[in-house]
Chain A
Amino acid sequence: MLKNLHENKIMRQAPEHYRMEGGGEQMFSSESAQIARKYAERWKTSDAGRAWKSQQAACTSRLKKEKEETADCAAGNVGNSGNTGAGGKSAAYLEDKAEWRISDLDSEHLFPVGIEYTPPARGTWTIAHTPMLVPGLHEVYVCPDGCLRGVVMSAEEFRGLDRFHVIEVREPDLYNGTLETKIIDGVTSVIQQIRREKGAFPSAVMVTTSCIHDLMGLDRNMVYRELSERFPSIDIVQGWMNCTMRMSTLHYEQVQWRQNYAALHPREKDPKSVNIIGSSFPLDRDSEIVQMLEKSGFTVRDLPLCRTYEEYQNMASSSLNIWNWVMGMEACRDLKERLGQKQLHMPYPWTYGEIRRQLTGLHELTGAELPDFDALEQKAEEKLSQAHEVIGDTEIQLDGVAAMLPFQLAELLLRHGFHVGKIYADAVMPEDRDAFSRLAESHPDLSVSAMINFRLRTRKCDGEADAEAGGRRILAVGQRSAYFSGTSYFVDLIQNNGWYGYTGICRLADAMIDAYRKPKDAPEMIQIKARGCTA
């Protein structure tokens, strides 16, 4: 019956040139800042703007009252003022700002959640990019036209349209009940087309559905079972692009990373094989993790380094999975459950003590020989010293997209005499909370700014403000901090770039010297989506 419902016309190829014309002003130019200001002014006089202003006035009044109560409480005038929250900091949250002194913040709730702004610092990979790391995998996105636009543009940007296909969902699919059959028949057409063009079936096909499928209660089991039965030699993998329904407490990127390994089939375990899981960039082959393991006879596998589908499948034979980036957590849980692979969490550290602790943990689990910590530490010290000699007292700003643990990184730099002025972060990872607390004590005036708060859309960037005041140089570590500071002197660091441990500190120190000496065309560089992604 399903076969009778098949219609070829439901599948259409993504257009070859699908680029947005015009628009998309960059905040870097002074002209765009003027545009932003103009819109802000216009908004202030609108009904919404006036309503917001009145809300702010009420908020300020509450804040004032709260402060008075807190003062009264401190002076012993009130028995229990209540509702002062963490260490009396809750009053600060009533005044909704995008930037605070670190000592005014609570590490568990940095900024209120609300309207978000995504800056055009786009080097991180998305759900359209990371599956491309699986050699030979083809992506099929099934969604309405409006949703397709974003992923089609992504695929076109990394020249990946020959591995990227779309099936459009239309309103009649809802009232005709053809949501399921359209996916089955559409994916069948895609696979047949690939076979005609390439002469062979693809190794794997990831079929990604969208919000409308979950809203309508797509019979997922039936669809994927039917596809697997039609194409038994192809690994059919489920994908989700659901921006409107959070079906679990997992981040969508965590789910995506789990699915990136979902095609791995059980294999006999090799006790001398280890996987690195959950990062778009390969773990530095000179890092202590890789060096320790390889010197002790281990094979270290990493998805970004897999060149063939067989190499990818070999990851199933590893006995241990290491995850350095938080997005790998769910994948490791799933692989442990499905393939019986052990897991070890080694979040990219920036303190010597933490590096030693993590590597010792790896040694205890695998028996891999430990490196000479003192020698490595000495080398890192020398590199940091060299960097400080060059950079001196130049203000450094860094962000939580560049480094998973930005507060540890800030602490490392401050302890070595650098002038860290601002950290951009929307949340503090549990592993970074101790460093956060220490910084709040030792450097209470250190600025912490949100990365996605809507106020950042119209905020004057630090570089722009400084240029008006005569100019000063800011060295940014990360694309977000480069964008918000407006500097051209920046280290293009995304998700640690795979830099780990002492070696990672050395690489960063070298990169900071290089960035300080050679300005970059930041707007041009950071607007490129998914740095390094190719099909």
Chain B
Amino acid sequence: MYKLAFYGKGGIGKSTTVSNIAAALAQKGMTVLQIGCDPKADSTMLLLHGQEKKPVIELLREKNQQTTLEDMVTEGYAGVLCVEAGGPKPGLGCAGRGIIAALEYLKRRKAYETYKPDVVLFDVLGDVVCGGFSMPIREGYADQVFILTSGEAMAIHAAKNIALAVDTFQERGYATLGGVIVNKRDVRHEGENIRQLCEDIHSEVVGTLERSELVQDADEMHKTVIEAFPDSPEAESYRKLADAVLQAADRENARRGEL
């Protein structure tokens, strides 16, 4: 089973990218579970055609221990299994605690054993701001972390922070860095900035997505590019990225095995 976490600066396009990767892998016949780890609970929106997905935290609030797997998991486009962890109302409560509670509850309800996914994708909020947001990279959750970034300074800064967090947890046997995914914004010195980032965090680019209006068109249709424009070059880019991510995970697993 591939267990992959995706981090990156807010607004960088994580959910769009992760949803397209999920759709591409599902179309190849794999069972994919996508878990949105963001209080906004909008990670799986494109896979569910804009349909509102009740997050785990809200379900626990309403039904407590009576919450079932069926309540939490909704089947989306191409059979992708969609879960939203959710969180408290903005300004209230503790979002990190929400992630912890949701992921622990999924585990306790044996979500992984029941659905036996080939791939689990954790789509995580921008920064690892507290212990709750490092939960997806703990032992038993994701094995590899992929960082999404553009060449913009703030995105690069966030990427470095995430890489630092991953490095901090190496001794604990947490997930390792799988690579960098570039979502281009066509800013000045973008390529150079990305190269410098990879050098700084001892990683490499596993895939690059060109800036495209088509992705926004698909977003407006509440669909993934894979579904809305399956024959487009952009869809093909996502398919290639999905393959590249799995290959990178294989390489990283092999390296870990050797260690």
Contact = CB atoms under 8 A, between A and B. Distances in A.
Interface stretch (B131-139, B153-161, B242-250): B131-139
Residues of A in contact with B, size category: 10 to 19
A216 B108 CA distance: 17
A219 interface: yes
Contacts of A219: 138-139, 172
A248 B132 CA distance: 21
B54 interface: no
A2 B97 contact: no
Interface in B97-147: 97, 100, 104, 108, 131-132, 135, 138-140
A23 interface: no
Candidate in A177, A215, A219 with the most chain B CB atoms within 10 angstroms: A219
Contact of A2 (B96, B108, B131, B171): B171
Nearest to A223: B172
A249 B108 CA distance: 12
B65 A217 contact: no
Interface in A213-270: 215-217, 219, 221-222, 248-249
A221 B100 CA distance: 15
Interface string B155-187: 000000000000010011100000000000000
B65 A249 contact: yes
Contacts of B139: 219, 221-222
Given A217-B97, A217-B100, A249-B65, A222 B172 contact: yes
Interface in A187-226: 215-217, 219, 221-222
A177 B131 contact: yes
Given A221-B139, A222-B173, A216 B131 contact: yes
A2 B172 CA distance: 9
Given A1-B171, A2-B171, A222-B172, A215 B97 contact: yes
Nearest to B97: A215
Contacts of A215: 97
Nearest to A225: B173
Contacts of A2: 171
Given A222-B139, A249-B65, A217 B172 contact: no
Contact of B140 (A180, A216, A221): A221
Interface residues of B, number: 16
Contacts of B140: 221
A217 B135 contact: yes
B182 to A, nearest CB: 30
Nearest to B171: A1
Nearest to B64: A246
Q: Is the interface of A mostly helix, strand, loop or mixed?
A: loop
Nearest to B103: A217
Contacts of A249: 65
Most buried by A among B108, B135, B171: B171
A264 to B, nearest CB: 25
A1 B173 CA distance: 13
Nearest to B173: A222
Q: Which of B65, B132, B172, B173 has the most CB of A within 10 A?
A: B172
Nearest to B132: A217
Contacts of A248: 108
A222 B135 CA distance: 13
Interface in A1-21: 1-2
A103 to B, nearest CB: 33
Interface in A98-115: none
Contacts of A180: 172
Interface string B62-84: 00010000000000000000000
Contacts of A179: 131
A495 B65 CA distance: 31
A222 B141 CA distance: 13
A392 B242 CA distance: 85
A219 B171 CA distance: 13
Nearest to B65: A249
A15 B247 CA distance: 58
B259 to A, nearest CB: 16
A248 B108 CA distance: 9
Nearest to A3: B171
A216 B133 CA distance: 11
A217 B171 contact: no
Interface string A421-453: 000000000000000000000000000000000
A217 B173 contact: no
A221 B138 CA distance: 10
A249 B132 CA distance: 24
15 contacts: A2-B171, A179-B131, A180-B172, A216-B97, A216-B100, A216-B131, A217-B96, A217-B97, A217-B100, A217-B104, A217-B132, A217-B135, A221-B139, A248-B108, A249-B65
Counting from the closest, the 5 A-B pairs by CB-CB distance are A217-B100, A222-B172, A1-B171, A217-B131, A221-B139
Given A216-B100, A219-B139, A249-B65, 16 more contacts: A1-B171, A177-B131, A179-B131, A180-B172, A215-B97, A216-B131, A217-B97, A217-B100, A217-B104, A217-B131, A219-B138, A221-B139, A222-B139, A222-B172, A222-B173, A248-B108
